[in-house]
Amino acid sequence: MTDRAEGRKFDLVTIGRAAVDIYGEQIGGRLEDMASFAKYLGGCPANIAVGAARLGLRVAMITRVGDEHMGRFVRETLAAEGVDTGQVKTDPQRLTGLVILGIRDKATFPLIFYRENCADMALEAADIDPAVVASARALLVTGTHFSTARTDEACRTAMRHARAAGTRIVLDIDYRPVLWGLTGHGLGEERYVASDGVSKHLQSIAPDCDLIVGTEEEIHIASGATDTLAALRRLRELSAATLVVKRGPMGCAIFPGPIPQRIEDGVVGRGFPVEVFNVLGAGDGFMAGLLSGWLRGLDWPAAAARANACGALVVSRHGCAPAMPTAAELDDFLARADGPTRLHDDPRINYLHRVTTRRRQWPEICALAFDHRRQLEDLAAAHRSPIERIPRFKALVAEALRQTAPDIPGAGAIIDDRFGREPLSALTGSGLWLARPVELPGSRPLEFEAGPDIALTLRTWPVEHVAKCLVAYHPDDEADLRRTQEDRVAALFRACIATGREFLLEVIPPRRPGDGPDILARALKRFYDIGIQPDWWKLPPAPDRAAWTALGDVIRRHDPHCRGIVILGLDSPEDDLARGFAAAAGEETVRGFAVGRNIHWKPAEAWFASEADDATTIDAIAINYRRIAGLWRSAKGY
């Protein structure tokens, strides 16, 4: 795969469906009985684009989305996964396609396509940029996008440009009878309906392809024959493409040349015996894995192993695009001699999937923490100010953050929803790093402010909100207290995983006589030992560089994928905070700060005392925030 493809911008360009999957969360029932749904990116070429990008390929997509919320979701999700969206057009007249689907059992997946006159089916030849196609090593087209005259012309135009540029052409047959108008809307899960018209149509595409991939039923529809070997021979008469037959748990068979007497005489990629949870999307994962090997020049057995492993990983999960494995989990799965079969419950696989699919990278965090509740209640009372003023003050802090954030890399906030609900909503979706507390202030043992059912609480939050929990925890606490606190932190950790959000654990050990400098490191190790792996730690300043190194060593040993540490302020004098920043700056696991009272407390005192107006308060907070961020950047040598 070198020849004319060397030095190209993209390894792969996909073209076609980019939609939103609305997945029923209840497993084992009719779609009629589903009560709640999860929203994911969907559509065969979009899923493949995400899967290929997660495996390290440089990927772009050509499609259309609607000028509405779902279209923005598709675009933002593709971009967050590393897929180039420069050729994702916004259609001002049509809606983004939707699919509503569920999981009844291992063989039944009811689904309804909402795709009539949708945005991606309005793709036309004028949307195809020859330079983009020529900049790719391979172009992937899918059968569905040949089902109407308009999209057929768009795909064939892309294929002509690919041929002229020496770009390889890959066809995923992707047969959905309902999208060819062969079944009613209620039979969206139907995978095979014989059609001479569809067969002839697909046969007109095959001669221009370099790689054709499909299930046995899809090979049948593409050829017009119902015997798999006969179907392969018919396709071979039409095309010199390498033919790949997906065979589910039996793996796959690959035919680069003449078709032999038996399927087993092809290049056979053995399947992986895993427990099936959801087969939807498995073929897209298979294709991503296959292309990740083929486009890197691996031989067919090695490429087949990657393809089959990706399919096995996807069938163990809910959803399609989000189920695609990353390179780290694929490599781990292929290297494990024990051959795990219950992937849905495998701790190692689930851990790797969670920590390697985080969408946005945060190399630095400069968070303005104003989640204070009890302290502001006391301050308001001290100045005989009504408690109802606290939300107004938090809005002023948020405005100061909004004004300064463009100048501060990694800007963010920790803000509560008791007094800060409106500014929290306003800041959500603005690109800031946002965390939100769950603990009842001052509770020891830890209690959750919204009640004990923390998973139910987190389900109501926007997914970008990081769950922040402060626990006053000492590794030498009395056994019952320690266990109670650990159990509640563990419940929060599980709830974060279940709801797909990140977790920040703030640990402040109560001081005890005789405590050494290792108290924090021991506390972190204890949480790791009981299986708790926060995405973030929020920790008080350590006394010196050696103490920071010890903390970093604990994290590196137990969770090399941890996002890192942010330093809290504890209302320390600014000179002490600067020294703490300087001591931490050389430790790679320290990513920044989450400081509050050093920034907003003096302005708060003046405002609650009616000695400063809103504008003066906003300016004072903004100045303080910039100064603290400057201390951090100075410590880092920026």
Based on the domain organization, do 405 and 268 belong to the same domain? no
Based on the domain organization, do 110 and 241 belong to the same domain? yes
Residue 198's CB: how many other CB atoms inside 10 A?
21
Per the listing, tokens 């809606």 go with 95
| Whole-number Cα distances in Å, 250 to 226, 267, 341, 366, 601 | 19, 13, 14, 51, 65
Q: Extract the tokens encoding 253.
A: 């068979």
Based on the domain organization, do 611 and 582 belong to the same domain? yes
Q: Which residues are CB-contacts of 495 (< 8 A; sequence separation ≥ 6)?
A: 454, 455, 457, 458, 467
DSSP H/E element including 630: helix 614-636
Q: Extract the tokens encoding 352.
A: 């790797």
SS3 label, residue 402: helix
Domain boundary among 356, 380, 400: 356
Based on the domain organization, do 270 and 397 belong to the same domain? no
SS3 label, residue 612: coil
Total structural domains within the chain: 2
Q: For residue 312, what pLDDT is reported?
A: 93
Q: For residue 337, what pLDDT is reported?
A: 65
Report the CATH number that the domain containing residue 316 is assigned in CATH: 3.40.1190.20
Average pLDDT over residues 521-529: 98
Based on the domain organization, do 436 and 509 belong to the same domain? yes
User: Quick one: which of 267, 258, 199 has its CA closest to 232?
Assistant: 258
* Lowest-confidence pick of 143-157, 179-193, 319-333: 179-193
Q: For residue 95, what pLDDT is reported?
A: 98
Residue 153's CB: how many other CB atoms inside 10 A?
16
Cα separation, 254 vs 233, whole angstroms: 13
> Given a cut of 70, is residue 434 above it in pLDDT?
yes
Based on the domain organization, do 376 and 282 belong to the same domain? no
Q: Extract the tokens encoding 50.
A: 């995400």
Based on the domain organization, do 516 and 590 belong to the same domain? yes
Q: Model-level pTM?
A: 0.94
Contact 134, 157 (CB under 8 A): no
* Lowest-confidence pick of 35-49, 107-121, 471-485, 599-613: 107-121
Average pLDDT over residues 166-190: 89
Confidence of residue 4 (pLDDT cuts 50, 70, 90): very low
Domain boundary among 304, 337, 356: 356
> Given a cut of 80, is residue 1 above it in pLDDT?
no
Average pLDDT over residues 141-148: 96
Residue 121's CB: how many other CB atoms inside 10 A?
23
Q: Extract the tokens encoding 419.
A: 């007094």
Choose between 577 and 4: higher pLDDT: 577
Contact 142, 172 (CB under 8 A): yes
The chain-wide mean pLDDT, for the chain, equals: 94
Confidence of residue 211 (pLDDT cuts 50, 70, 90): very high
Report the CATH number that the domain containing residue 478 is assigned in CATH: 3.20.20.70
Largest Cα separation within the chain, whole Å, is: 91
pLDDT digit string, tens, across residues 366-412: 999 999 999 999 999 999 999 999 999 999 999 999 999 999 999 99
Confidence of residue 6 (pLDDT cuts 50, 70, 90): low
Helix residue ranges per DSSP H, 371-471: 374-382, 390-404, 421-427, 454-458
Name the phi and psi angles at 105, rounded to 5: -155, -170
Q: For residue 2, what pLDDT is reported?
A: 41
Amino acid at 129: D
Cα separation, 604 vs 601, whole angstroms: 5
| Whole-number Cα distances in Å, 569 to 55, 266, 362, 516, 578 | 40, 65, 20, 20, 10
Based on the domain organization, do 187 and 310 belong to the same domain? yes
Domain boundary among 307, 335, 356: 356
Based on the domain organization, do 158 and 214 belong to the same domain? yes
Q: For residue 42, what pLDDT is reported?
A: 95
Cα separation, 107 vs 188, whole angstroms: 14
Based on the domain organization, do 450 and 322 belong to the same domain? no
Based on the domain organization, do 129 and 273 belong to the same domain? yes
| Whole-number Cα distances in Å, 199 to 146, 178, 292 | 12, 15, 29
Contact 150, 127 (CB under 8 A): no
Name the phi and psi angles at 505, rounded to 5: -110, 120
Confidence of residue 186 (pLDDT cuts 50, 70, 90): confident
Q: Extract the tokens encoding 358.
A: 């985080």
Domain range for residue 229?
A: 3-356
Based on the domain organization, do 12 and 139 belong to the same domain? yes
> Given a cut of 70, is residue 3 above it in pLDDT?
no
Q: For residue 5, what pLDDT is reported?
A: 52
Provide the angle, in degrees to the nearest 10, between the axes of the packed helices 597-608 and 390-404.
130
* Lowest-confidence pick of 46-60, 324-338, 475-489, 524-538: 324-338
Q: Extract the tokens encoding 379.
A: 């301050």
pLDDT digit string, tens, across residues 256-280: 999 999 999 999 998 898 888 888 8
Q: For residue 108, what pLDDT is reported?
A: 84
- DSSP single-letter state for residue 61: E
